[in-house]
């Protein structure tokens, strides 16, 4: 093709240029839609990050944390719940609490074998009972019954004691409060509750498992004795929780001559950090939205706009976030503004840390309830509640939800984009087929034309040669 006509593939490309331009126009539309879809994806990611900051403000662990001090960490420490009051305590530990225990004799197999492993079957079958009671009779004795099979080993019996439940507990989840260990093939049973308690072993396997009255060794437990701010006390624990409301003392070492000073104060750093993280992420979201909505400078010929400039959905989102950020129902006078949150004329959110700390010191519970008040029941699999963060999350969820049947605005918008792209791709496929058909037609047409011209030239050359030969013969 082109030998006689001069028409080449480039010529055909020029003839098809308008069709290729149609494809380019459609592809440019697809590229713009993809840019919009990606912009919404990025917005959704930033909104999800904002949600995580809101969830931090819903977390119980964010509030009421305490700073603790001890003049001697090796001897005693203190901890407190969110409801515990600030305070300083002078503590003297006279003696630590210990547990009562009973140690049996060396156990042999039923056949008399004495050299055994703790995993060897003993060959005994029967029952072992253990009763645990306060030495002074101040509580109701608790008795557990262990069923022993002839295939059980010392280790099996110890495990059965450790997993025994309180028979008076109807739900069967409360431990019997016993701990069994094996030392030199001897069973040692200890009361988990400290203090002076009486452990009594019974059952038809009492003697065979080393608990004969003339063999056992008893270790008497004792209560912790201490003074707190000059008040003498006793507790059957080295971690008493019932001395000061919401406060746990941890006794480690006794020294009647040493006074340990323990301190407990509110730690506002975690709350402050959580609010600052929220403010930072909110500003990141709003800055990104503004970037994607930017109309640039329309007066310039090379003006560049944001991918979502003029998008009514994004404008609505921006407006909703702006109206929500300083909203929230006031709780006992606590509101977004009294906590130091404010927005400047550029829409940037800021936090007055001084005002926030003052409000937190004044009424920490109301600050917590302003941000979130949990209304979930104990069987709920999802946290529910009211407050500033709950309202804010609800707004975000309307846009970012991906749950089937309740998709958010962004998910629906992106699905719409994909449908548009699918339709445009079909158009491109049709145009591509049309171009291929036209190209084939052009190639055939110009090839035939070139062949015809070639044939005419050959005939002309023949006639011309015949004419020249006839003239020379004359």
Same structural domain, 202 and 130: yes
Q: pTM of the full predicted structure? A: 0.66
DSSP, res 246: T
- Smallest Cα–Cα separation from 185: which of 146, 147, 157, 213? 157
Spatial CA neighbour of 359 closest among 394, 379, 333, 381: 333
**Where does a domain end: 222, 257, 287?**
222
51 lies in the same domain as 23: yes
Which is nearest to 409 in space by CA: 297, 294, 321? 321
Q: Inform me whether the pLDDT recorded for 181 exceeds 60.
A: yes
Tell me: do 171 and 271 sit in the same domain.
Answer: no
On whether both 79 and 10 belong to a single domain, the answer is no
User: Do residues 217 and 100 touch, judged by C-beta distance below 8 A?
Assistant: no
d(CA 228, CA 251): 12
- Claim to verify: residue 283 and residue 163 sit in the same structural domain: no
**What is the mean pLDDT of the segment spanning 164-181?**
92
Angle among Cα 127, 132, 133 to the nearest 5 degrees reads 145
Average of per-residue pLDDT values in the chain: 91
356: in domain: no
Q: Are residues 90 and 124 part of one domain?
A: no
Q: Extract the tokens encoding 394.
A: 């609800």
pLDDT at residue 424, as a whole number = 92
- Per-residue pLDDT of 359-387, as tens digits, reads 988 888 899 999 999 888 766 677 888 99
Cβ proximity of 150 and 130 under 8 Å: no
Give the whole-angstrom CA distance, residue 343 versus residue 339. Answer: 13
Residue 2 has what pLDDT?
59
Q: Give domain status of residue 168, yes or no.
A: yes
User: Is pLDDT above 70 for 247?
Assistant: yes
Based on the fold, state whether residues 236 and 183 are members of the same structural domain.
no
Helix, coil or strand: residue 437: helix
Task: State how many domains the chain has.
Answer: 3
Same domain as 165, residue 40: no
Q: How confident is the model at residue 281 (pLDDT cuts 50, 70, 90)?
A: very high
Question: 262 by DSSP, 3-state: which?
Answer: strand
When mean pLDDT is compared across 39-48, 253-262, 277-286, 450-459, the lowest value belongs to 450-459
Closest to 244 measured CA to CA, from 255, 258, 253, 233: 233
Question: Do 37 and 81 fall into the same domain?
Answer: no
262: nearest Cα among 274, 275, 252, 273: 252
> What's the rounded mean pLDDT across residues 310-337?
92
Asked if 324 and 286 touch (Cβ cutoff 8 Å), the reply is: no
The pLDDT confidence band at residue 305, using thresholds 50, 70 and 90, is: confident
Q: How confident is the model at residue 473 (pLDDT cuts 50, 70, 90)?
A: low
Gyration radius (Cα) of the chain, Å: 43
Backbone angles phi, psi at 185, to 5 degrees: 60, 30
Domain of residue 7: give its range: 1-65+267-296+305-328+366-474
Task: Kindly state the average pLDDT of the residues 277-282.
Answer: 97
**Whether residues 194 and 287 fall in one domain:** no
Check whether residue 281 and residue 419 sit in a common domain: yes
The answer as to whether 316 is a domain residue is yes
Name the pairing type of β-strands 101-106 and 349-351.
unpaired
Q: Which helix (H) or strand (E) holds 12?
A: helix 9-15
What CA–CA distance (Å, rounded) separates 245 from 83?
Answer: 8
Residue 419 lies inside a defined structural domain of this protein: yes
Which CA distances in Å does 112 have to 122, 166, 169, 187? 10, 34, 39, 17
118 in the same domain as 71: no
Average pLDDT, integer, range 103-128: 94
273 has a pLDDT exceeding 80: yes
pLDDT number for residue 58: 93
How many C-beta neighbours within 10 Å does residue 399 have?
A: 22
Mean pLDDT within 302-331: 91
Task: Assess if residue 121 is contained within a domain.
Answer: yes
| Angle of CA points 125, 129, 132, to nearest 5° | 160
**Is pLDDT at 474 greater than 60 in this prediction?**
no
DSSP for 320-383, please give it.
HHHHHHT----BTTB-TTTTTEEE-TT--EEE-HHHHHHHHHH-HHHHHHHH-EE---TT-SS-
For 429-463, the pLDDT digits (tens) are 999 898 888 888 888 887 788 788 777 877 777 77
334 occurs within a structural domain:
no
Helix pair 312-325, 388-400: axis angle to 10 deg: 170
Q: What is the pLDDT of residue 263?
A: 96
- pLDDT tens profile 326-336: 988 888 999 99
Following DSSP, what letter does each residue of 24-92 receive, concatenated?
Answer: HHHHHHHHHHHHHHHHHHHHHHHHHHHHHHHHHTT-GGGSS-EEEEES-TTTEEEEE-TTPPPEEEEEE
* pLDDT score recorded for residue 361: 85
pLDDT at 3: 66
Asked if pLDDT for residue 293 goes beyond 70, the answer is yes
pLDDT at 470 > cutoff 80: no
Residue-level pLDDT at 302: 82
Tell me the average pLDDT across 306-328.
92
Residue 359 lies inside a defined structural domain of this protein: no
How far CA 116 is from CA of 106, 151, 205, 425, in Å, comes to: 10, 14, 18, 80
Q: Which percentage of the chain shows pLDDT scores above 70?
A: 97
Alpha helices per DSSP H over 181-338: 269-293, 312-325
Q: Please state, in angstroms and rounded to a whole number, the distance separating the CA atoms of residues 135 and 282.
A: 62
> To which H or E segment does residue 447 belong?
helix 409-473
The CATH number for 204's domain is: 2.60.40
For the segment 313-342, the average pLDDT, to the nearest whole number, is 92
How confident is the model over 40-47, as a mean pLDDT?
95
pLDDT score of 289:
94
In a domain, 347, yes or no: no
The number of beta carbons lying within 10 Å of the beta carbon of residue 312 is 8
Q: What is the pLDDT of residue 371?
A: 94
């Amino acid at each position: 093709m082109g030998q006689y006509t001069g028409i080449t593939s480039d010529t055909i490309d020029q003839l098809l240029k308008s069709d290729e331009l149609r494809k380019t126009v459609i592809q440019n539309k697809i590229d713009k839609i993809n840019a919009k879809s990606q912009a919404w994806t990025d917005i959704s990611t930033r909104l999800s990050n904002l949600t995580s900051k809101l969830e931090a403000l819903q977390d119980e662990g964010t509030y009421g944390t305490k700073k603790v001090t001890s003049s001697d960490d090796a001897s005693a420490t203190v901890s407190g719940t969110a409801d515990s009051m600030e305070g300083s305590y002078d503590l003297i530990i006279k003696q630590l609490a210990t547990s009562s225990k009973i140690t049996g004799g060396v156990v042999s197999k039923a056949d008399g074998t004495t050299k055994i492993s703790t995993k060897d079957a003993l060959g005994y079958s029967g029952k072992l009972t253990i009763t645990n009671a306060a030495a002074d009779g101040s509580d109701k004795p608790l008795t557990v019954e262990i069923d022993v099979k002839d295939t059980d080993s010392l280790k099996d019996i110890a495990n059965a004691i450790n997993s025994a439940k309180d028979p008076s507990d109807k739900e069967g989840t409360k431990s019997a409060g016993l701990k069994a260990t094996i030392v030199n093939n001897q069973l040692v049973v200890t009361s988990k509750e400290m203090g002076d308690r009486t452990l009594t072993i019974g059952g038809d396997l009492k003697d065979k498992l080393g608990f004969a009255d003339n063999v056992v060794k008893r270790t008497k437990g004792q209560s912790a004795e201490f003074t707190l701010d000059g008040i003498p006390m006793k507790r059957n624990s080295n971690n008493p929780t019932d001395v000061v409301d919401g406060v746990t003392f941890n006794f480690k070492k006794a020294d009647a001559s040493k006074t340990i000073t323990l301190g407990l104060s509110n730690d506002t750093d975690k709350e402050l950090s959580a609010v600052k993280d929220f403010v930072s992420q909110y500003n990141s979201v709003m800055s990104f939205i503004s970037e994607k909505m930017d109309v640039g400078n329309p007066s310039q010929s090379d003006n560049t706009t944001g991918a979502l400039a003029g998008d009514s959905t994004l404008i609505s989102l921006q407006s909703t976030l702006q109206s929500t950020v300083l909203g929230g129902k006031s709780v006992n006078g606590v509101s977004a503004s009294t906590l130091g949150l404010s927005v400047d004329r550029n829409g940037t959110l800021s936090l007055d840390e001084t005002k926030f700390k003052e409000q937190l010191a004044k009424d920490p519970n109301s600050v917590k309830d302003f941000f979130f008040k949990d209304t979930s029941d104990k069987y709920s699999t999802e946290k529910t509640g009211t407050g500033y963060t709950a309202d804010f999350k609800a707004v975000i969820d309307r846009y970012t939800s991906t749950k089937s049947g309740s998709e958010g605005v962004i998910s629906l918008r992106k699905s719409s984009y994909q449908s548009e792209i699918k339709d445009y791709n079909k158009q491109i496929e049709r145009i591509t087929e049309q171009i291929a058909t036209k190209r084939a037609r052009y190639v055939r047409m110009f090839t035939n034309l070139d062949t015809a011209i070639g044939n005419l030239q050959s005939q002309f050359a023949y006639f011309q040669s015949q004419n020249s030969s006839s003239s020379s013969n004359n």
